[in-house]
């Protein structure tokens, strides 16, 4: 996507006649308005505030539930979702170039939770005829797990040299497909090589290329995906019945039961990922 061509006094770079002069690359230099009867020739940036940017969300949502019976209840929810949104700043110049996956939305999300009361003691399937003292010991145990799994958040691929090629308000994209991003896992958290590496450092010239001065790459906004999210919590309870109106409960909650580490997104620069 071409941004601007050389203005008077600029030094062209390459056969396209593009320039890396940041001032001359700004929209206000060559912008045209009816009130100006052509190019306005402004030498200071302008601000625009409007409500003409929107987001679009679509999802397939599935819920499966087992109502409480025989001491067990389960609820599971899954969503396959997509959302498209535009970034600000450059959207007033070229909205299509900054439309991409919404930064806050994970493509797939699954949540499950439930409760299970062990079937021991008076009124239950097993050990139903115990004396009151033993019944208080073996009955009233409950477990309640919660499981959350979600796919990663999107991020934008950039590279080291784009800052000198395009205006500061323009998006920094590489040329190339995000599917070419090399991923993998090596090491462990706190170990050698700074722990786990999800994305390998890459260089311009092979899978990804520099779009050149005065051009935005075709890699697009938020087309790469970060590491997923997983968390499991567990609650264990022991209930003591005191007569019919009162009960005493001892409870233990374990958050992040499996001690799983969730990593955030990398910065997006393909030449410094890791």
Question: pLDDT (tens digit, 9 = 90+) per residue, 19-43?
Answer: 666 666 666 666 666 767 777 767 6
Q: How far is CA 5 from CA 19, 158, 174, 191, 238, in A?
A: 7, 23, 20, 50, 74
Q: Quote the pLDDT of residue 154.
A: 95
pTM, 2 dp = 0.76
Q: Quote the pLDDT of residue 38.
A: 72
Distance between CA 219 and CA 172 in Å, rounded?
A: 9
Which has the closest alpha carbon to 262: 240, 237, 232, 230?
230
Q: How far is CA 178 from CA 37, 164, 225, 254, in A?
A: 42, 23, 9, 38
φ/ψ of residue 160, rounded to 5: -65, -40
Per-position pLDDT tens, the chain of length 274 = 334 444 444 444 444 556 666 666 666 666 666 767 777 767 666 666 777 778 899 999 999 999 998 889 999 999 999 999 888 777 777 788 889 999 999 999 999 999 999 998 888 888 888 888 888 888 889 999 999 999 999 999 998 887 777 777 788 899 999 888 888 766 665 665 555 667 778 888 888 998 887 788 899 999 999 999 999 999 999 988 887 788 888 999 999 999 998 988 888 888 887 6
Question: pLDDT (tens digit, 9 = 90+) per residue, 173-182?
Answer: 999 998 888 8
Distance between CA 86 and CA 36 in Å, rounded?
A: 29
Both structure tokens of 115: 């409760």
Q: Quote the pLDDT of residue 101.
A: 94
Please check whether residue 151 is in contact with residue 225, taking contact to mean a CB–CB distance below 8 angstroms: yes
Q: Quote the pLDDT of residue 251.
A: 93
Q: Quote the pLDDT of residue 274.
A: 61
């Amino acid at each position: 996507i071409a941004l601007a061509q050389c203005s008077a006094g600029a030094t062209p770079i390459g056969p396209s006649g593009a320039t890396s002069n940041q001032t001359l690359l700004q929209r206000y230099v060559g912008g045209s308005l009816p009130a100006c009867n052509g190019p306005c020739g402004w030498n200071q940036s302008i601000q625009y505030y409007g409500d003409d940017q929107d987001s679009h969300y679509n999802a397939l949502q599935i819920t499966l539930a087992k109502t409480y019976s025989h001491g067990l209840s389960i609820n599971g929810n899954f969503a396959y979702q997509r959302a498209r949104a535009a970034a600000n700043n450059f959207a007033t110049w070229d909205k299509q170039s900054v439309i991409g996956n919404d930064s806050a939305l994970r493509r797939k999300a699954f949540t499950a939770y439930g409760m299970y009361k062990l079937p021991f003691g008076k009124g239950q399937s097993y050990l139903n005829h115990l004396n009151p003292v033993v019944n208080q010991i073996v009955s009233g145990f409950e477990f309640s797990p919660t499981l959350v799994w979600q796919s990663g958040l999107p991020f934008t691929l950039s590279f080291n040299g784009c800052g000198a090629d395009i205006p500061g308000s323009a998006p920094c994209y590489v040329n190339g497909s995000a599917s070419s991003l090399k991923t993998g896992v090596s090491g462990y958290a706190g170990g050698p090589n700074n722990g786990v590496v999800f994305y390998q450092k890459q260089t311009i010239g092979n899978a990804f290329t520099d779009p050149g001065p005065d051009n935005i790459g075709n890699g697009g906004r938020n087309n790469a995906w970060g590491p997923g999210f997983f968390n499991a919590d567990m609650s264990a309870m022991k209930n003591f019945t005191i007569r019919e109106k009162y009960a005493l409960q001892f409870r233990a909650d374990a958050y992040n039961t499996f001690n799983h580490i969730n990593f955030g997104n990398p910065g997006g620069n393909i030449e410094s990922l890791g």
